[in-house]
């Protein structure tokens, strides 16, 4: 038996990756220093692998995103970027004013850059896998080059196609038709073959292909195509195929692929294991069994894992144990976390236990793989460790009977607002008296260095709570004044008191822990610390009331109450596995409902409940969607059961929304703001297809990821296009997401342009 690990978090112990990138972008370090820094991270990561597991990859440390790297590898550089000139073009594609679209990687909070295919004219532009393979080879370290498979690459790409109104003549679209997929794949294969040939020439025997798209539901002819693809690729290397995040869509077809090793995720689903038990595993292939959870932070029951590995040894002649999916969804290590909650317990020899003891981040997951192998091989020390862990992994933590009683007592009425939308909207408009094309923003305003510094001093105890509160009040005063001057109709308080839209609520709720150093990459250099839901969740006291009511006291215009929804809090956190996800979502929703009621009582007329992770939480396979969306929709409805007069908004961003519009509609909000600018209007056509859409909607009129100030023409064109499919009475005007990552110098002129366009449209379409 061997061990293999992959996808280790590239961020570094002290967020070195983020610092390197951001310092380079600010011009504080040279390209040479950046490269040196990235190489040091490469050495660190491979060093960790080398110390703990038998097999490990190279080509994992992308300068921004692995999908972008793959696109560049095969020469898919859109013509607007001109000739590829190394890092400058690379970062233009990643974050320039005309950057590639960004969207979530399967059902995770990692965002990849969507490759844009302008045709089938692929060529080997940069052999990144070879470069990294040679880098380690020169140091005497043998690695397995890791590459995104051509199939997954195409499934996640968009190709330029000709369309009809309301879409522009040429627009980007997913490759849906089999004939197109086949055409692109056949054009792409020679480039991959060349990559493998060059790798083989330099001595690489085994190449690791990541192919998670094999977990989507697939037609039989797609399997034929994938079979053919691996047949050709296998002529140049020993191929190991990795799948993850779900079960493979057709086990028999999968194990029949002409490759040397097959990787299955045995954590996220039951089907893979059931299929191994039912159909066996081919004797001429290696099984890469993903038995250690790569997405959750819980320390594994090693006894259980050993039992599983021993069972798998009966089916597979050659077993490799591994993590269930890439480890980059986890922070680097639990080691620096000193302040995690401690609970009273009654287990042998222990009266109290820190949550830390029950956790395993990426480094600890490597050690788990190592321990399992050693224990199976009879290492006494490893066996003792296994027994020690067993005592602490399954003790109940943070039980609250009252919370459980409230969830059990829920009835259908709790998920239903008192009046229908048509009646609600009349009451709301009487109170709000908003103009047509009302303007607003999504919530956050620039989190400047000053804001972050003062917060850091406050957290370190150098600034008193009173001083911090005063500082936040000053920020709120400023943002209210700025919004009034710009002429926005519905204002926000700016979210200056929040580190992150999920972490902030996690810090206020019981049953959820937050970490100090548990950073995870979300995209590019942007990081967040996913909270850990370990017990029953409840709200000990109001969470947002002070800031929102203070902001409202400064203006006559409505200020939106700003909450993060239950599905997003759940999906962007790690969560306990001893109760169903649905129950956790309802617990959080009940806590949020209390906040909604408090805000209403304080006179807040509009409440926005953000659900950017609503789509992302959906299972990979459509057959599982109904079950998920049933409770996800209900969790939202539960927390948004406001008075009919209160206008409920929601917000979503950076997902593929088109195929989930029906579920979004069932959430029964009054207004939704939705990102649309990078996906170039695809969402607009989704509304065209949706018969009977009657909710108000703010289609993001500009991309907040770009520092460029949007022109009035570009803003107008998004709205004009939206008006082709939606009645203008339904349209709101807003950016596509929060403004926290932008600078004031960009935000003010951008919003001014936006408000001017709204005013011009009001005049143009005024009814006489
Ligand atoms: C809207 N999005 C979000 C997603 N997921 C989230 N969890 N949150 C989101 O907002 N997913 C989809 C999208 C896109 N994703 C992101 C994710 C992260 C950011 C972002 O801007 N992150 C910040 C970090 C934010 C934070 O928590 N900051 C803290 C701590 C700051 C810090 O590093 N402090 C220093 C000391 C301070 C100093 O001296 O400067 C330290 O501790 O060493 C805070 O504000 O207090 C980032 O910078 O990456 C955006 C979109
Ligand atoms: N209200 C949040 C939503 C981000 S998805 C913000 O404005 O940052
Ligand atoms: Zn957003």
What does the pLDDT look like over 481-519, one tens digit per residue?
999 999 999 999 999 999 999 999 999 999 999 999 999
- pLDDT above 70 for 563: yes
Of the pLDDT bands very low, low, confident and very high (cuts 50, 70, 90), residue 167 is low
- Ligand 2 pocket member 738 (CB < 6 A): yes
Residue 501 in contact with ligand 2 by CB distance below 6 A? yes
Catalytic positions are 705
* 16 annotated as a binding-site residue: yes
Instruction: State the pLDDT at residue 350.
Output: 80
pLDDT of residue 680 exceeding 70, the answer is: no
Give the number of the atom of ligand 2 that is nearest the alpha carbon of residue 740: 8
556 Cβ contact list (under 8 Å, min separation 6):
none
Buried b (16+ CB within 10 A) or exposed e, 363-391: bbbbbbbbbbbbbbeeeeebbebbeebee
Ligand 1, atom 30, residue with closest C-alpha: 499
- Ligand nearest to the Cα of 675, by number: 3
Q: How many independent structural domains does the chain possess?
A: 1
Given a cut of 70, is residue 383 above it in pLDDT?
Answer: yes
**Other residues' Cβ atoms within 10 Å of the Cβ of residue 674:** 22
Residue 165's pLDDT band, with cuts at 50, 70 and 90, is low
Give, using CA atoms, the residue closest to atom 48 of ligand 1: 526
Q: Would 504 be classed as within a structural domain?
A: yes
Residue 728 assigned as binding residue: no
Structure tokens at 574: 């790690």
Percent of the chain with pLDDT over 70: 98
Looking from the CA of residue 564, the nearest atom of ligand 2 is: 1
Q: With a 6 A CB cut-off, is 610 part of the ligand 2 pocket?
A: yes
Among protein residues, the one whose CA lies closest to atom 36 of ligand 1: 456
* CA of 519 relative to ligand 1 center, distance in Å: 9
Q: What is the pLDDT of residue 8?
A: 98
CA of 161 to the centre of ligand 3 (A): 28
The confidence band for 216, taking pLDDT boundaries of 50, 70 and 90, is very high
> Which atom of ligand 1 is the closest one to the Cα of 500?
27
The tokens for 609 are 């409940």
When mean pLDDT is compared across 160-164, 189-193, 327-331, 504-508, the lowest value belongs to 160-164
Share of the chain above pLDDT 90, in %: 90
List, for residues 693-726, the tens digit of each pLDDT value.
999 999 999 989 888 899 999 999 999 989 999 9
Q: For 88-128, what is the HEC assignment?
A: HHHHHHHHCCCCCCEEECCCCCCEEECCEECCCCCCCCCCH
More confident residue, 187 or 345: 187
CA of 570, nearest ligand number? 1
Compute the average pLDDT of residues 136-157.
98
- Following CA atoms 479, 484, 486, 490 in sequence, which dihedral angle do they give, to the nearest 10 degrees? 90
Work out the number of other CB atoms within 10 angstroms of the CB of residue 603: 12
- What is the distance in A from the centroid of ligand 3 to the CA of 9? 24
Pocket test for ligand 2, best of 442, 616, 652 (most atoms within 8 A of CB): 442
Mean pLDDT confidence for 23-29: 98
Of residues 180 and 703, more confidence is placed in 180
Cα 744 from Cα 662, distance rounded (Å): 37
Of 103-107, 162-166, 633-637, highest mean pLDDT: 633-637
Q: What is residue 676's predicted lDDT score, i.e. its pLDDT? A: 72
Q: Separation of 354 CA from ligand 3 center, angstroms? A: 34
Range name among 179-188, 208-217, 389-398 with the lowest pLDDT average: 389-398
Q: Distance of CA 540 to CAs 339, 505, 543, Å?
A: 20, 12, 9
- Per-residue pLDDT of 38-92, as tens digits, reads 999 999 999 999 999 999 999 999 999 999 999 999 999 999 999 999 999 999 9
The verdict on whether residue 25 carries a ligand-binding annotation is: no
Closest ligand to the CA of 521: 1
Annotated binding-site residue? 662: no
Ligand 2 atom nearest to 441, measured from its CA = 7
**Tokens linked to 202:** 């330099």
Q: Tell me the pLDDT tens digit for each residue of 740-764.
A: 999 999 999 999 999 999 999 999 9
Examine residue 169 and state whether it is found in any structural domain, yes or no: no
Q: Give the tens place of pLDDT for each residue, 434-462.
A: 999 999 999 999 999 999 999 999 999 99
Pairing of strands 560-564, 526-528: unpaired
Considering the domain boundaries, does residue 473 fall inside one?
yes
Nearest residue (by CA) to ligand 1, atom 14, is: 522
CB of 560 within 6 A of ligand 2: the answer is no
Ligand nearest to the CA of 502: 1
Residue 657 confidence (pLDDT) above 90: no
What is the domain-level CATH number for residue 698?
3.20.20.210
Per the annotation, does 616 bind a ligand?
Answer: yes
> Is 572 annotated as ligand-binding?
yes
Question: What mean pLDDT comes out for the span 721-736?
Answer: 94
Residue 675 among known ligand-binding residues: yes
pLDDT at position 282, please?
Answer: 98
Ligand 1 pocket test, candidate residues 18, 104, 520, 527, most atoms within 8 A of CB: 527
CA 443 – ligand 3 centroid, Å: 9
For residue 444, say whether it is annotated as part of any ligand binding site: yes
Mean pLDDT of 114-136: 97
Q: Which of 115-124, 309-318, 381-390, 497-506 has the lowest mean pLDDT?
A: 381-390
Question: Is residue 280 assigned to a domain?
Answer: no
| pLDDT range class, residue 172, cuts 50, 70, 90 | confident
In a domain, 61, yes or no: no
First to last CA, the chain: 79
How far is the C-alpha of 289 from the C-alpha of 309, rounded, in Å? 8
Pocket of ligand 1 (CB under 6 A): 109, 447, 449, 452-453, 455-456, 499-502, 522-523, 526-528, 572, 612, 654, 737, 740-741
The rounded Å distance from CA 521 to ligand 1 centre is 10
Whole-number Å distance, alpha carbon 486 to ligand 3 midpoint, is: 22
* Residue at 554 is within a domain: yes
Q: 386 C-alpha vs ligand 2 centroid, how far in Å?
A: 43
Q: Is residue 28 part of a domain?
A: no
Confidence of residue 108 (pLDDT cuts 50, 70, 90): very high
Nearest CA to ligand 2 atom 1: 443
The verdict on whether residue 557 carries a ligand-binding annotation is no
The range of the structural domain enclosing residue 511 comes to 401-411+423-764
Tell me the pLDDT band of 768, cut-offs 50, 70 and 90.
Answer: very low
Closest-approaching ligand to the CA atom of 14: 1
User: Is the beta carbon of 563 within 6 A of some atom in ligand 2?
Assistant: no
Ligand 2 near 492 CB (within 6 A)? no
Ligand 1 centroid, distance to 740 Cα (angstroms): 9
Each residue of 119-139: b (16+ CB within 10 Å) or e?
A: eeebebebbbbbebbbbbbee
Residue nearest to atom 6 of ligand 2 (CA): 738
pLDDT number for residue 100: 94
Cis check: omega of the bond before 233, within 30 degrees of 0: no
Asked if the model's pLDDT at residue 590 lies above 90, the reply is yes
Residue with CA nearest ligand 1 atom 35 = 456
Q: Is the shortest distance between the CB of 312 and ligand 2 below 6 Å?
A: no
- Residue 679 covered by a domain: yes
Residue 612 Cβ contacting ligand 2 at under 6 Å: yes
Q: Give the span between the Cα atoms of 675 and 683, in whole angstroms.
A: 8
Query: Which residue has a Cα nearest atom 4 of ligand 2?
Result: 738
């Amino acid at each position: 038996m061997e061990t293999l690990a992959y996808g280790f978090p590239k961020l570094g112990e002290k967020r070195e990756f983020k610092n390197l990138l951001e310092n380079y972008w600010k011009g504080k370090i040279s390209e040479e220093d950046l490269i040196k820094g990235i190489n040091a991270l490469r050495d660190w990561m491979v060093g960790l692998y080398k110390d703990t597991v038998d097999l490990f990859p190279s080509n994992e440390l992308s300068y921004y995103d692995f999908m972008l790297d793959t696109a560049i590898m095969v020469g898919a550089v859109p013509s607007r970027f001109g000739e590829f000139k190394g890092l400058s073009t690379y970062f233009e594609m990643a974050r320039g004013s005309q950057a590639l679209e960004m969207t979530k990687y399967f059902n995770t909070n990692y965002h990849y850059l969507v490759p844009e295919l302008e045709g089938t004219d692929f060529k080997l532009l940069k052999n990144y896998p070879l470069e990294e393979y040679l880098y380690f080879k020169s140091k005497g370290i043998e690695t397995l080059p890791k590459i995104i498979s051509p199939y997954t690459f195409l499934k996640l790409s968009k190709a330029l196609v000709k369309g009809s109104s309301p879409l522009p003549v040429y627009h980007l679209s997913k490759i849906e038709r089999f004939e197109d997929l086949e055409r692109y794949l056949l054009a792409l294969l020679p480039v991959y073959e060349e990559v493998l040939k060059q790798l083989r020439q330099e001595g690489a025997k085994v190449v690791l292909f990541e192919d998670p798209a094999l977990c989507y539901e697939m037609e039989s002819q797609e399997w034929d195509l994938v079979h053919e693809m691996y047949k050709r690729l296998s002529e140049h290397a020993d191929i190991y195929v990795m799948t993850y995040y779900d079960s493979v869509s057709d086990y028999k077809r999968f194990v029949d692929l002409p490759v040397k090793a097959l990787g299955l995720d045995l954590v996220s689903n039951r089907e893979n294991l059931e299929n191994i038990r039912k159909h066996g595993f081919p004797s001429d292939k290696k099984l890469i069994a993903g038995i250690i959870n790569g997405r959750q932070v819980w320390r594994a029951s090693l006894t259980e894992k050993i039992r599983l590995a021993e069972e798998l040894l009966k089916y597979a002649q050659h077993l490799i144990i591994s993590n269930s999916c890439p480890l980059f969804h986890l922070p680097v290590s639990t080691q620096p976390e000193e302040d995690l909650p401690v609970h009273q317990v009654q287990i042998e020899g222990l009266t109290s236990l820190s949550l830390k003891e029950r956790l395993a981040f990426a480094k600890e997951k490597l050690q788990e793989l190592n321990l399992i192998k050693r224990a199976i091989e009879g290492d006494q020390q490893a066996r003792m460790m296994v027994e020690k862990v067993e005592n602490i992994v399954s003790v109940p933590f943070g039980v609250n009977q009252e919370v459980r009683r409230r969830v059990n007592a829920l009835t259908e009425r709790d998920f239903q607002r008192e009046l229908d939308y048509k009646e609600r909207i009349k009451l709301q408009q009487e109170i709000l008296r908003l103009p047509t094309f009302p303007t607003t923003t999504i919530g956050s305003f620039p989190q400047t260095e000053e804001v972050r510094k003062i917060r850091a001093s406050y957290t370190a105890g150098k600034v008193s709570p009173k001083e911090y509160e005063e500082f936040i009040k000053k920020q709120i005063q400023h943002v209210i004044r700025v919004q009034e001057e710009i002429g926005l109709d519905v204002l926000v308080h700016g979210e200056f008191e929040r580190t992150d839209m999920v972490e902030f609520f996690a810090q206020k709720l019981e049953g959820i822990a937050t970490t100090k150093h548990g950073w995870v990459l979300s995209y590019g250099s942007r990081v967040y610390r996913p909270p850990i839901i370990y017990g029953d969740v409840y709200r000990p006291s109001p969470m947002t009331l002070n800031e929102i009511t203070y902001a409202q006291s400064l203006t006559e215009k409505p200020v939106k109450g700003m909450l993060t929804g239950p599905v997003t809090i759940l999906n962007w956190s790690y969560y306990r596995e001893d109760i169903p996800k649905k129950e956790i979502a309802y617990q959080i929703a009940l806590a949020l409902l209390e906040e909604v009621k408090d805000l209403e009582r304080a006179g807040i007329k509009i409440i926005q409940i953000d659900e950017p992770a609503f789509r992302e939480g959906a299972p990979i396979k459509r057959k599982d969607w109904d079950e998920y969306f049933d409770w996800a929709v209900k969790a939202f409805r539960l927390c948004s059961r406001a008075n009919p007069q209160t206008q409920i908004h929601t917000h979503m961003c950076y997902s593929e929304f088109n195929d989930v519009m029906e579920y979004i509609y069932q959430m029964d909000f009054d207004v939704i703001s939705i990102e649309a600018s990078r996906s170039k209007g695809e969402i607009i056509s989704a509304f065209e297809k949706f018969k009977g859409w009657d909710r108000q909607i703010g289609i993001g009129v500009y991309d907040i990821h770009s520092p460029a100030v949007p022109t009035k023409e570009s803003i107008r064109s998004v709205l004009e296009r939206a008006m082709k499919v939606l009645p203008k009475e339904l349209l709101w005007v807003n950016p596509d997401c929060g403004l926290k990552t932008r600078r004031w110098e960009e935000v003010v002129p951008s919003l001014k342009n936006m408000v001017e366009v709204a005013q011009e449209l009001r005049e143009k379409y005024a009814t006489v």
